[in-house]
Structures are given as structure tokens and as C-alpha cells.
């Protein structure tokens, strides 16, 4: 009986080794494992993104003309019914701009350069500024102090 036992062990070892070798040969032929049923394949690698991004500025109401400033530098003019398109280097940092139009409150906003961006700015007329959140009534020129008393309160 001792002679039969080593033969069975040896036979099991040979079968295990042959199945492992077959699996390795299969994996070498097809290095990526098969996807489960119902799982979409990952997208193929795409081309690198372009070196510049487009930032599109629009205003509402669109029938007015507005100027876009980046600090003291004027980036451009938003013409009536037309956007302003600015090209900047990708990932060059945020662009803090001020949009000014005659008869409207200047608007400060930020545009990012991670990807192509659209910035829509709503203009508020000067006579409608009390509708904005955070509006404060303007103080009179004397600061709200009572009129001066010439006798000094005596």
C-alpha cells in the first residue's frame, strides 16, 4: 500500500503543475483578465488636453456693451448680443475679473483655467441696487450726526 500512495501523490502533483502551466500560457497570450458580463470596457487612452483654454464671457441683459478688466488691464469688450472669448494657458491660475457697463453696478467674478469655461454675468442697474443681497442704505454726507449746536451745550 505504501507503493500506491506515492504514485497518487505524484500524479496529483503532475496534474496540478500542468494546469498551472496552461493557465500561465493563457495569461501570457491575453495579459488583461476578461471583463465580467455587463461591465463596459475602459475608454482607450486619449490625446493630451490642449495647452490653452477658452473662457467665454456673456452678460445679461445682452443688448448692452460691457468691458472686462483683469486688474487695470482691459481683456476686451462684450459687444451687444455677442460674447467675449479669451484664451489663456491651461492651469495658469484663476482669473479675477471686473465687468463694467455704463449705468450698471460693476461685477467682480472669477474664471478658472482648468478647462474651457463659460461665465455669465447678470448686470444690475444702478436704480435697482437695493434688490441685491447685502445692500446698505447710503449715509448722508454729514454721517447722520445732529446739526452742530453753537453754544456748545451750555
Q: In tens digits, what is the pLDDT along the chain, a chain of 154 residues?
A: 555 555 666 666 665 566 655 555 555 555 566 666 666 767 777 788 889 999 999 999 989 999 999 999 999 999 999 999 999 999 999 999 999 999 999 999 999 999 999 999 999 999 999 998 988 888 778 776 777 777 766 6
Report residue 92 as a C-alpha cell: 495658469
How many whole angstroms separate alpha carbon 147 and alpha carbon 136?
23
Closest CA to 66 of 19, 104, 39, 30: 104
Q: Which helix (H) or strand (E) holds 11?
A: helix 4-29
CA atoms within 13 A on the CB side of 84: 25
**Whole-number pLDDT of residue 137:** 85
Domains of the chain: 52-131 (2.60.40.1120)
Backbone Cα Rg of the chain:
36
SS3 26: helix
> Is the peptide bond between 61 and the residue preceding it cis, with omega within 30 degrees of 0?
yes
Amino acid at each position: 500500500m505504501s507503493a500506491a500512495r506515492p504514485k497518487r501523490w505524484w500524479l496529483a502533483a503532475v496534474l496540478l503543475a500542468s494546469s498551472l502551466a496552461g493557465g500561465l500560457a493563457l495569461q501570457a497570450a491575453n495579459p488583461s483578465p476578461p471583463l465580467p458580463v455587463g461591465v463596459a470596457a475602459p475608454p482607450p487612452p486619449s490625446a493630451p488636453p490642449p495647452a490653452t483654454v477658452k473662457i467665454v464671457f456673456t452678460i445679461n441683459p445682452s443688448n448692452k456693451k460691457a468691458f472686462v478688466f483683469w486688474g487695470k488691464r482691459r481683456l476686451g469688450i462684450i459687444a451687444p448680443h455677442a460674447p467675449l472669448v479669451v484664451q489663456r494657458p491651461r492651469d495658469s491660475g484663476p482669473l479675477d475679473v471686473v465687468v463694467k457697463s455704463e449705468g450698471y453696478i460693476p461685477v467682480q467674478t472669477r474664471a478658472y483655467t482648468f478647462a474651457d469655461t463659460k461665465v455669465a454675468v447678470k448686470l444690475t442697474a444702478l436704480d435697482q441696487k437695493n434688490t441685491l443681497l447685502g445692500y446698505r442704505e447710503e449715509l448722508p454726507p454729514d454721517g447722520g450726526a445732529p446739526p452742530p449746536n453753537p453754544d456748545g451745550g451750555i
